[in-house]
């Protein structure tokens, strides 16, 4: 890619896409194409076809997807598989039809089996049953990998698939009904700290920024305290504040700063091709996707303790083992990516501090 290349970033407003846009801008790329969902519905085949015919992008980064946490994945199973398949099918096929020079497809490490050997190597794909709660989403992402591989092998396209581990960073989703574990914990601990300091102004500012079930900063004190308690943030008998965490706290998770992920994606777009994703001379070309991660994991309990220290919360945690844990361990093997020439830069304590400051600034502005 050169600095004037026409690059379409699908899903530019999300956690992934916004980080990629920032990375491209920082590197001097000045011809970026974006569309909001309102401007272009990627599940609409005719609309996507018309967009590619009109804009003719040279490069495509497919970061658009329907995403969510355990509750959302479990509840909206049909939506997750249908919408993600439609987005992928439309964008990948039209990239082929428009002779796009290179495409980068972003998936997730949930593609690996529930009982996958650790750390998870790319070759472990399709070696066992998936985690049930996010199976529809995972199947859609596996289909995206195979679509990229198949188009490359049949049509000679240059489509690369990357599977980032759990991401966190600016523009993360802090909605307690739909967010992933790390931003949810940051917000819950932040609200817990405000509650233990009897700082209802801080709580109200937070709820004005992002209401919970319609409860905002203008709501009555009783409504606010009730909704906080519903989401596991409450004062207990001794006057201290307790924050509930779903599950046992034992599952191990790997977390990658979103801007590191974006740097890896831009690196691959600039420096590597599909031919670099498998060993030349291989009879059966498969598992050409690339894991993006840190190769380090942490238990949910230790993650909560780390967030507690960063935020300065003095209360306690209550783990709720009646709620789902999900897969007990999900650690990526990043040796393939490292061999291609990229390593992460931001470790977890620094990343949590950066994200908390970002969240505070966002809440204050609103």
Q: Is 132 a catalytic site residue?
A: no
Mind giving me the DSSP string for 90-132? HHHHHHHHTT-SEEEEE--GGGS-TT--SSB-GGGTTSSPPPS
Is pLDDT above 90 for 73? Answer: no
Residue 180 in contact with residue 126, Cβ under 8 Å? Answer: no
Q: What is the pTM of this model?
A: 0.91
Q: Assign 71 a pLDDT band (cuts: 50, 70, 90).
A: confident
Of 29, 59, 137, 359, the active-site residue reads 137
Give the tokens for residue 2: 């050169």
Common-topology check for domains 7-170+255-294+331-345 and 181-250+299-326+358-365: no
pLDDT tens-digit series, residues 308-333: 999 999 999 999 999 888 778 889 99
**What residues does each domain of the chain span?**
7-170+255-294+331-345, 181-250+299-326+358-365
Share of the chain above pLDDT 90, in %: 87
> Is the pLDDT score of 8 beyond 80?
yes
Q: Which of 13, 19, 6 shows the shortest CA–CA distance to 262? A: 19
CATH number of the domain at 7-170+255-294+331-345, please? Answer: 3.40.50.720
The helix-helix angle for 200-209 and 181-196 (nearest 10°) equals 150
Q: Does residue 365 carry a pLDDT above 70?
A: no
Task: Tell me the pLDDT band of 366, cut-offs 50, 70 and 90.
Answer: low
User: For domain 181-250+299-326+358-365, which CATH number applies: 3.40.1130, 3.40.50, 2.60.40, 3.90.25?
Assistant: 3.90.25
Q: What is the pLDDT of residue 309?
A: 97
> Residue 91: which of 138, 156, 19, 157 has the closest Cα?
157
Compute φ and ψ for 15, nearest 5 degrees: -55, -45
Distance from C-alpha of 326 to C-alpha of 177, rounded to nearest angstrom: 17
Euclidean distance between CA atoms 361 and 10, whole angstroms: 27
For residue 233 the two structure tokens come to: 């943030």
Segment 53-77 mean pLDDT: 91
pLDDT band at 45 (very low <50, low <70, confident <90, very high): very high
| Res 233 pLDDT > 60 | yes
For 263-287, letters b (16+ CB in 10 Å) and e give: bbbbbbbeebebebbbeeeeeeeeb
Q: Which two tokens stand for residue 192?
A: 């817990």
For residue 163, what pLDDT band results from cuts at 50, 70 and 90?
Answer: very high
Please give the pLDDT value at position 103.
98
CA dihedral of residues 81, 84, 87, 89 (deg, nearest 10): -60
Cβ atoms of 325 and 279 within 8 Å: the answer is no
Query: What are the tens digits of pLDDT across the range 107-159?
Result: 999 999 999 999 999 999 999 999 898 899 999 999 999 999 999 999 999 99
User: Which residues, 6+ apart, have CB-to-CB distance to 214 below 8 Å?
Assistant: none
Q: Are 145 and 125 in contact (CB under 8 A)?
A: yes
Tokens 């831009």 sit on residue:
266
The mean per-residue pLDDT over the stretch 273-279 comes to 94
């Amino acid at each position: 890619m050169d600095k004037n290349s026409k690059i379409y970033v699908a899903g530019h407003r999300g956690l992934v896409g916004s980080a990629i846009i920032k990375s491209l801008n920082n590197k001097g790329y000045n011809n970026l194409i974006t569309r909001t969902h309102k401007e272009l519905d990627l599940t609409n085949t005719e609309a996507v076809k018309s967009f590619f015919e009109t804009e003719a992008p040279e490069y495509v980064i497919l970061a658009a997807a329907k995403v969510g946490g355990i509750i959302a994945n479990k509840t909206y199973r049909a939506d997750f598989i249908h919408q993600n398949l439609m987005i992928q099918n439309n964008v990948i096929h039209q990239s082929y039809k428009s002779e796009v020079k290179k495409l980068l497809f972003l998936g997730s490490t949930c593609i690996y089996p529930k009982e996958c050997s650790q750390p998870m190597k790319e070759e472990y794909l399709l070696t066992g049953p998936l985690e049930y709660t996010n199976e529809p989403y995972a199947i859609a992402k596996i289909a995206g990998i195979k679509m990229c591989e198949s188009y490359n092998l049949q049509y000679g396209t240059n489509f690369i698939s990357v599977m980032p581990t759990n991401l966190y960073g600016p523009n993360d989703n802090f909605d307690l009904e739909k967010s992933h574990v790390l931003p949810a914990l940051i917000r819950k601990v932040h609200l817990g700290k405000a509650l233990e300091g009897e700082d209802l102004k801080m709580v109200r500012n937070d709820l004005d920024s992002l209401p919970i079930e319609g409860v905002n900063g203008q709501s009555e004190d009783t409504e606010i305290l009730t909704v906080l308690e519903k989401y596991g943030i409450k004062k207990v008998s001794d006057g201290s504040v307790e924050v509930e965490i779903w599950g046992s706290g034992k599952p191990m998770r790997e977390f990658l700063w979103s801007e590191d992920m974006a740097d890896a994606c831009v690196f691959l777009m600039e420096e590597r091709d599909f031919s670099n994703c498998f060993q030349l001379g291989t009879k059966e070309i498969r598992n050409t996707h690339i894991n993006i991660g840190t190769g380090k994991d942490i238990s949910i309990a230790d993650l909560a303790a780390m967030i507690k220290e960063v935020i300065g919360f003095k209360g306690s945690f209550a783990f709720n083992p009646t709620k789902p844990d999900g897969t007990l361990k999900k650690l990526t093997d990043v040796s393939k990516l490292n061999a291609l020439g990229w390593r992460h830069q931001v470790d977890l304590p620094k990343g949590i501090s950066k994200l908390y400051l970002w969240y505070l600034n966002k809440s204050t502005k609103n």
